[in-house]
Amino acid sequence: MEKASEVLTREQILTATEETLRRFGVGKTSVTDVAKVLGVSHGTLYRHFKSKADLLEGATESWLTDKIIEPLTAVCSDTSLNGSAHLYQYIRTLIELKRASAREDEELFRVYAKVTEEAADLIGRHIRHITDQLSEIITRANPACASPGRLASAIFYATARFHHPAHAYAWKSPSIDEEFAEVWSLLEQGFANQLSE
């Protein structure tokens, strides 16, 4: 018997979507496949998500929150860190989370990479969340910093090669950590004064 759509939660649908994506991959997963996992008709899912693209966007948002934002929030809140060391730890954690996802959760990482190209609003919110946390770290280090938001955005975009899914092909390079260290050293020289003024 079909579950009543009103008791089927968004979280249940997204969990089933993740399970289905891992099993079949993004190209072969259909709304009907997700509905089968839940024991409902595909029409029931359309009451919650207007299309497959909408469903994939929801799954991506949930994945980004659980796998990326929550661990980054813990780093942002870590009062044992300060200044450039705190910024370094935050960006390094972002890089490690993205690499681990690309390596260990390939299908959902592929969905994330696909949605990155198609869901500008979702990705914009994700980037704002990260740059807001970077800005918070900067402000904590130097409350007098004139433009923490601009500095946060500059750090995020300057390190994009190491955490943006479009560059995932380069993350297996044996020199990637050395390259990041060089970029970070240059960035740190550039923003050190703004943190210590």
DSSP H helices, the chain, are 10-24, 31-38, 42-46, 52-64, 70-76, 83-104, 106-118, 120-141, 148-158, 176-196
pLDDT at 192: 77
Give Cα separations from 186 to 128, 155, 189, 190 (angstroms).
24, 11, 5, 6
Task: Kindly report the CATH class assigned to 1-50.
Answer: mainly alpha
- The better pLDDT of the pair 104, 157 is held by 157
Q: Where are the domains of the chain?
A: 1-50, 52-196
Q: Which of 69-73, 109-113, 125-129 has the lowest mean pLDDT?
A: 109-113
Amino acid 197: pLDDT: 54
pLDDT value for 1: 40
pLDDT at 196 (0 to 100): 65
Q: What is the mean pLDDT of residues 18-27?
A: 85
Nearest partner of 65 among 19, 57, 158, judged by Cα: 57
Per the CB < 8 A criterion, the answer to whether 58 and 10 are in contact is: yes
pLDDT at 113: 82
pLDDT in tens, 130-178: 999 999 999 999 998 889 999 999 999 999 999 999 899 999 999 999 9
CATH tag, 52-196: 1.10.357.10
pLDDT in tens, 25-57: 888 888 888 988 898 888 888 888 888 888 888
Task: Please give the structure tokens belonging to residue 136.
Answer: 């918070």
Q: Is the pLDDT of residue 4 over 50?
A: no
* pLDDT, tens digit, 9 for 90 and up, residues 56-95: 888 888 888 999 999 999 999 999 999 999 999 999 999 9
The predicted pLDDT at position 68 comes to 94
Going by pLDDT thresholds of 50, 70 and 90, the confidence category of residue 190 is confident
120/97: higher pLDDT:
97
